[in-house]
Structure 1
Amino acid sequence: MTTAETYHIPVLLQESIDGLDIKPDGVYVDVTFGGGGHSREILRRLGKKGHLYSFDQDEDAEQNIVDDERFTFVRSNFRYLKNWMRYYDVDHIDGLLADLGVSSHHFDDETRGFSFRFDAPLDMRMNKRAGMTAAEILKTYDEEQLSDIFYLYGELKNARKIASAIVKVRYEQPIETTGDLIKVTEKLFQREREKKEMAKMFQALRIEVNHEMTALKEMLNGAKDVLGEGGRLSVITYHSLEDRIVKNFMKAGNAEGKVKQDFFGRTEAPFRAISNKVIVPSDEEQQQNPRSRSAKLRIAERVEIEEK
């Protein structure tokens, strides 16, 4: 099998691409290239004059680049969407796809520290060239900062106890690997929920390392500016934090979900939901691809605000 085929099985492939309502000569963006599964399907539906820009900050994804003159790979965090579109002289796009979260490739990579299944250095950076590692965060953040991360991003009720345990031992016993972190914290998790709670702890650290919530908000704001009238936004989420941001943004044009009204009481929302119901994978897909079990797809269309 090729690297692309083993890298990551695309989640909600047909549903997410159908949601883009692709025009053969349109300009599209896949902000989460990964193994290239979604990008290949977009290219399959594009005509000779269409074009696709795909983003990924992980150098591993470059192994999956598509050899197609209609394709441009952008090695960057998707938070810089608007800047890159300006760089390529793209005034507007017709659709944007985002498959958020972490690919199965990252969880299966024994060297990156994304999963507690392997004893590996606590790195967790999507972009291995920049930023603090998870180990550096555990070493330098104070107890309150760590507690906030575990509570806000992991939704862990015992966040303060976890943070306290880390701070107490880190100077005498450096926490540099996934095994080190598990050894320090495993006694704080109830046996029957141990794996789920640990997964949340690792999720919280990963989100902080990669500034995922901030990057998501910046990308969505950029999408609002570069999507042309009628352009589609198709976003797959995997946990409540990112799903809440996407839902609010599609409803009100901001991460807080605050709907603005004009003088006449008309809603000033830049998007219109294509479906009021969230789309989830079929039972068959969930059996074939475990990663899809928590996936939710939301689709919206860019609308123009009436001139005052």
Structure 2
Amino acid sequence: EAEEAGESYKAYIDIAGNKMLPLIEESGDAGQRAADAVAIANIETRVGKVYAVIADAVINRNLAETRIDFSKVKEEAMKDIAEVYKQVDTVEEREWAEEFESHYNNYLDIFESKMLPILAQSGSVNMGKIRALDDDIDGVRNLTLNALHKIVLSLEEEEKQDMADEKEIRELDGLIDGIRDALLVPISEMEKSLEKETVEADELFDAIGKRTTLLTIIISTIAVIISLLLALTITRGITNPIAQGVIFAQKMADGDLSEHLDIDRKDEIGVLAKALNRMTFNLRDMISAIRDSSEQVASTSEELSATAEQLAEGAQQQASTLEETSASVEGLTA
């Protein structure tokens, strides 16, 4: 289906882009061409009207009226020249328009510059010159009309070509419509297939989404449990050593310095445990030193007591001796 649609699409593009589009760009409006040809034909009629003014001037010789009429037809002639340039659209037609302009101006100039001055002369008119000028005017008028006729024929030919192009465009348009209709069939089938695949993909996506959600819940639950276990382990790792330290400190406060805090860690708790053990060791040494000093003081005190007793006995003996001596002296004096 995709290959069939691709081939139909290529044919569609080829006809539309390579055949129909160039025809549309090159072709014009056949109706407009016909209107342009009619407009040029009307100008031909007005060229003949100029000659009617010239003939009336020769026959009636009412120059005042002739000048008024000629002024009007000359003004119309200038407009007609401009109109002709608007109607042409090819190089050849423009050359004919320039030819028309040149002959038309010459046509008007012969009458205005040459014939009118002769007709305006008083007395008899030189009819030989008038006839000669009339022949010149006829010749130039024919050249003027011939240039216009060429333009009319060209416009009519373009009209025929435009009509032929329009006919071919309509035929190509019908062919394109057929290809388009043929192209829509596999495209429609492809759309149905894509819709089916899209539905299946959506269902698969929903199933994957549900599995993903379930897996996410399981992973989240496991992560929470692991987090709780880690938190409990970390808490125990902190609180248990602290509890041991508290018990150890209480025993120290009760005077039991025989305990040893068995905590081997490299963190702050380990440093605290080592400090407590070192303090206990130092206290034991200090108490032992104090005990030794007390024993030495007690021994020295006993020695001092014995010496004091000996001195007291000596003093008593000396006192007895003195009493005996005093009694002897008193006996001698009596």
Q: TM-score range by the shorter chain?
A: under 0.3
Whose strand fraction is larger, Structure 1's or Structure 2's? 1
TM-score, normalization: structure 1?
Answer: 0.20
Whose helix fraction is larger, Structure 1's or Structure 2's? 2
Higher Cα radius of gyration: 2
- Larger relative contact order (CA 8 Å, sep ≥ 6): 2
